[in-house]
Every structure is written in C-alpha cells, then in structure tokens.
Amino acid sequence: MSSIKQFQVTFDCAEPERVARFWCEVLGYVVPPPPKGFATWDDFHRSQPAEDRGSWFVCMDPTGMGPRMFFQRVPEGKVAKNRVHLDVRVGTGLVGEERLATLEAECARLVALGAVRVRLLTADDDNESCIVMQDVEGNEFCLD
C-alpha cells in the first residue's frame, strides 16, 4: 500500500481570489504562474466562459514544502463552525509571556489584512495559549 505524500487544502468561498491572496499574506505563500499560454492570470480568466471567471484561485508554498491551497466559489455562504481549521504555527517552542507577545503581534498583522480576532484561549495543563481568529470570509483558524 502506498502512502500519500502531498495533499491540497480546499476552501469553499464567495471570492476565491480575495481569500487566496489573504492566505498568501498569512502564510508567505505565492500565486503560481498562470497556466501555459497565458501571460497573466487576468488573461487566463478572460479566456474562460463568463460563468467560470473567478470561480477558483490557487496559492502555494514557494518552498514546495507546504500544501497547495485551492479556493473555489460556491453559491452558499458559511453558516456553521468549520469542521476542519488551520493552525498557523507562529508560537512554536515559545511559552508564557514570550508566546503571548508573539501571538499578539501576528494577530495585529492579520487583523490589518482583514482577519477578525475571536478570542484568546489561555494556557492550561494540556495546551499553550492560542488565538482563535476568522479569515476575510469568516473561516475559523488559530494562531498557535
């Protein structure tokens, strides 16, 4: 039996390019080059049927280590809590006040990009502190 070596994370959303560009900024990801035969993504999108224009967008880890992220337009809005969310690991190895300061600094940067701070979960016997947030379309994620 073979094991899977790569995977893609897919987001359902209303505005794929907007959400993808937000996550590029959060994670240091990049937009890949446009498909072969197109000078820009705008050129590619203009070549699509009107109903398909802007229906998806992609971003990727420039190092090739992290998963590709795919954003697809869906007609319905988000109505419930995510069943899966991303943990953005900015405080790995840090504890106490140093961890909180790092989380707060990153939280402020992401709020400036359009994210929403939901709440701080303080450290307990099992877990270090993290900050629950929402992206530009309300998808929950944690600064961990």
The closest of 13, 121, 134, 142 to 73, measured between CA atoms, is 13
Give the DSSP letter of residue 68: E
pLDDT at position 3 over 80: no
pLDDT at 25: 96
53: three-class secondary structure by DSSP: coil
Check pLDDT > 90 for residue 89: yes
Among 1-10, 79-88, 115-124, 130-139, which stretch is predicted with the lowest mean pLDDT?
A: 1-10
Cα–Cα distance for residue pair 85/38, rounded to 1 Å: 33
Q: pLDDT at residue 1 above 70?
A: no
Domain ranges of the chain: 8-73, 86-143
> Which pTM value belongs to this model?
0.87
Longest dimension (CA), the chain: 56
The pLDDT value given to residue 100: 94
Residues 6+ apart with CB under 8 A from 8: 67, 68, 69, 70
pLDDT tens track for 46-57: 999 988 888 999
- For residues 80 and 8, which has the higher predicted lDDT (pLDDT)? 8
pLDDT digits over 58-74, tens only? 999 999 999 999 999 99
